Amino acid sequence: MFSVPGLRYIVLVKLKDSTQLSYLTILQYIVFSGVILYVGRPLFIPLSFALLISCILYPICIWLEQRKVKKMTAIILSLSLIVLLLAAILFLFFQQLISFSSEWPALQLKLSQAFSEISSWITHKFSISAERQAEWFENASRQSGSDAMGFVRKTISAGTISGVLFILIPVYVVLILYHRERWVEVLYHIFPTQRKERIREILHLSIKAYYNFIKGMLLVYLIVGVLNSLGLYLLGVPHAFLFGFTASILTFIPYAGIVIASLLPITLSWVMYNSIWYPIGVIIIFSMVQYLEANVIFPLAVSSRLKVNALVTIVAIVMGGVLWGVAGLILFIPFLGIVKLIADRTPGLKTLAIILGGDSKEFNP
């Protein structure tokens, strides 16, 4: 027979072991989910983009169907609207590129003059002959040429995959929207203990979260593009609109995107004005706008709309980049918003809802 203190000790040990086991189980679930997401990228990424686009097009489809338009016709029309919008943006972008290409011969001439002046300065300063410099440049060109072939092969492979995804994603969108009632019934069967009203509420709010995310991201790109373009225009850099909005779009690549986008305006301003202060001005403009985008514009325009903690948002971006690359940077934020919605409306996930952010008053037991 056990004494009462001994029994109490055994019970406490059992509770401690069960708590440790639950923590270990949660850690296993996290690791297992990360492995599944990483290995299943070719399947999950296009499906996730299709789900994102479907949530955006769903209100348009409903609006058209309420006006006696057939379901498939409404889906095709709403999808065509997205395609036309992207085509218009690409058209404006290529127009700016064509305008920039007309100045390329003059830019190439100034670049050759600048390289000649640099070569003369190196010869005068370090006593390295022009022939020696040409030999070094030729060797570097050979090495970069071999590296460029590998880059071209990777680019072709990535382009092929992107082409396949470009075909798959619209097909997924059409199938998701056309059979949307069936997917809702599947959710009812997966979560039979939940009330249908609760599931419908979460679905409605999830669609709203996706919509708010897209609206927030468009606002971020617009504000960053305007600030970049205005700064470059005041500095006197030509084609400020092209460079400003290119840098805005590339901000979805952390750190590297803004560096890539700044190379051309830095080179152009240095060659045109033959002064180091203009490239420094470009660097200052992009750095200030990038700081505002990361610490002010993005958290206010996106995180506040999704009602998610800014710190958790940054962690989700990093995790998405590690698991899914560039696609993860885009997709993991709205996923986080949906998890927050579910946690707010599930009694057993109150702690998770507090961690993700927002006001605890939003919790509905």
Give the per-residue pLDDT at 23.
Answer: 58
Q: Is 210 left (phi over 0), alpha (psi -120 to 50) or beta?
A: alpha
> pLDDT 10s per residue in the chain (365 long)?
444 444 444 444 444 444 444 556 667 777 888 888 888 888 888 888 888 888 888 888 888 989 888 989 999 999 898 888 888 877 877 776 776 676 667 677 776 777 777 778 777 777 777 777 777 777 765 665 555 455 445 545 555 555 666 778 888 999 999 988 888 888 777 776 667 777 777 787 777 777 777 778 888 888 988 999 999 889 888 878 888 888 887 776 656 667 777 887 887 787 777 777 888 888 899 889 888 887 788 777 766 566 677 778 778 878 888 888 777 877 887 788 778 877 777 777 777 778 777 544 444 44
Give the per-residue pLDDT at 72.
Answer: 92
Encoding tokens for residue 334?
């709205």
Give the per-residue pLDDT at 68.
Answer: 87
Give the per-residue pLDDT at 15.
Answer: 43
**Alpha-carbon distance 91 to 85, whole Å?**
10
**Alpha-carbon distance 305 to 315, whole Å?**
17
Quote the pTM value: 0.64
3-state helix/strand/coil string of 264-313: HHHHHHHHHHCCCHHHHHHHHHHHHHHHHHHHHHHHHHHHHHHCCCHHHH
Give the per-residue pLDDT at 230.
Answer: 92
Identify residue 64 by its one-letter amino acid code.
L
**Beta carbons within 8 Å of 232's beta carbon, 6+ residues apart:** 240, 243, 244, 265, 282, 285
Number of alpha helices (DSSP H) and beta strands (DSSP E) in the chain: 15, 0
Identify residue 157 by its one-letter amino acid code.
S
Give the per-residue pLDDT at 182.
Answer: 87
**Alpha-carbon distance 314 to 320, whole Å?**
10
The tally of domains found in the chain comes to 1
Q: Please indicate, yes or no, if residue 109 is contained in any of the structural domains.
A: no
The three-class DSSP label of residue 254 is coil
Q: Please indicate, yes or no, if residue 130 is contained in any of the structural domains.
A: yes
Q: Please indicate, yes or no, if residue 65 is contained in any of the structural domains.
A: yes
Q: Please indicate, yes or no, if residue 135 is contained in any of the structural domains.
A: yes
**Alpha-carbon distance 344 to 360, whole Å?**
8
Q: Please indicate, yes or no, if residue 186 is contained in any of the structural domains.
A: no
Give the per-residue pLDDT at 306.
Answer: 63
| Nearest Cα to Cα of residue 58 among 194, 253, 211, 186 | 211
**Alpha-carbon distance 89 to 225, whole Å?**
14
**Alpha-carbon distance 327 to 254, whole Å?**
12
What's the domain range around 62? 46-93+125-178
Give the per-residue pLDDT at 77.
Answer: 92
Q: Please indicate, yes or no, if residue 167 is contained in any of the structural domains.
A: yes
Q: Please indicate, yes or no, if residue 85 is contained in any of the structural domains.
A: yes
Q: Please indicate, yes or no, if residue 273 is contained in any of the structural domains.
A: no
